[in-house]
Amino acid sequence: MILDDIYGVILERRRNPSPDSYVSALTTKGKDAILKKIGEEAAEVIIASKGLDKQQVIHEMADLWFHCMVLMAEEGLSHSDILKELEDRFNKKKEQDTSGCIFCNIISKETPAGIIYEDENVTAFEDINPQAPLHVLVIPKKHIPTSLGLTNRDNELIGQLFQAANKIATERGVAERGFRLVMNTNPEAGQSVYHIHLHLLGGRPMHWPPG
Ligand code: 5GP
Ligand code: ZN
């Protein structure tokens, strides 16, 4: 990616200052000089944006972006630090969007649903439209719309979902006979509630492949 290429050059010019390099000259003046430059570039973005010339806005934004990268090098930051922060904010926003989620309402007990298991992070309840003698939904209390929204931060949570399902399967006497754990993702798989849930199905022989 071009950002990584440019950042690589900035790091190189810091490590091995060369007399005709703009970055070398700026960084040898110290952090205050970089900060001053960022302030100036931000002001230039504002001025350009007040005008009508889109190309000028692009030009000034590129200048600002470039100087932010010079500061990143000064602070010892990498693009992945900034990208991770943006990603976390984006994911948090998605997680917070629980309005109208039927399963969040079941977790908060606003909507009754025979809850058969609950701990700090997991809730489990009988499916309203059972597809087998035992059909339980095991869900995280955290609102995650689909399995595609899972991140490394959820690794432990996923383990907890499976362990809760195992516990219920054992208690309901299907552990040894056999049971099925299914998570549907997105329309073609038949996902109808966009808060991830593990279907625990048991109590009858099952076919494979599933329909
Ligand atoms: P999906 O189709 O998303 O994989 O599974 C959603 C499941 O949630 C379905 O099996 C459906 O019967 C169940 N379900 C939907 N709404 C409710 C509800 O309000 N209460 C309960 N207990 N189950 C529900
Ligand atoms: Zn939810």
Tens digit of pLDDT for each residue in 125-153? Answer: 999 999 999 999 999 999 999 999 999 99
List of residues 6+ apart from 179 with CB closer than 8 A: 134, 169, 200, 201, 202
Nearest CA to ligand 1 atom 21: 128
> SS3 sequence, 181-199?
EECCCCHHHCCCCCCCCEE
Q: How confident is the model at residue 88 (pLDDT cuts 50, 70, 90)?
A: confident
- Cα separation of 56 and 89, whole Å? 30
Query: Which ligand does the CA of 142 lie closest to?
Result: 2
> Is the minimum distance from the CB of 17 to ligand 1 under 6 angstroms?
no
> Is the minimum distance from the CB of 183 to ligand 1 under 6 angstroms?
no
- Is the confidence at residue 114, as pLDDT, over 80? yes
> Is the minimum distance from the CB of 96 to ligand 1 under 6 angstroms?
no
Nearest CA to ligand 1 atom 17: 128
Distance of CA 139 to the CA centre of its chain: 18
Query: Which ligand does the CA of 144 lie closest to?
Result: 2
> Is the minimum distance from the CB of 191 to ligand 1 under 6 angstroms?
yes
Q: Which pLDDT score is estimated for 211?
A: 82
